[in-house]
Amino acid sequence: MADEIKIIPSSGSAQETKADPAPALEKPARYKVLRTIELNGVLYLPDGAPEPKKPRSAGNGLPVKVDAIGFIDLTPGQAAQMTLGQVKLAATQDAAPAAPKAKKK
């Protein structure tokens, strides 16, 4: 009796790859802007910094919007990329900027 040999077709790869589960959505946190940041077409300025007359992108030279409130919402991944001291995690009392005070006549 001769032993039968079965040939099983393989997918072509020696190692199976499994898809990584979808990354968990990171919840953004509020950070205080310490140095000017350009992110997603918006120029974020520290509180009290003068606004440029014609703000332009540093990357492509196109006009950008300006946010001079002094706070930015970043995910932990985005905040980790800010390695030059651009942001500081806002304390709870600093998280919401105060409304501008009315001038007395």
Sheet holding 65-67, edge to edge: 37-39, 42-44, 65-67
Output the 3-class SS for the chain: CCCCCCCCCCCCCCCCCCCCCCCCCCCCEEEEECCCEEECCEEECCCCCCCCCCCECCCCCCECEEECCCEEEECHHHHHCCCCCCEEECCHHHCCCCCCCCCCC
Q: What is the pLDDT of residues 48-102, one digit of tens each?
A: 999 999 999 999 999 999 999 999 999 999 999 998 889 999 986 444 554 444 4
Average the pLDDT over 1-8 and give the result: 65
pLDDT of residue 6: 67
Higher pLDDT, 39 or 14: 39
Average the pLDDT over 22-31 and give the result: 79
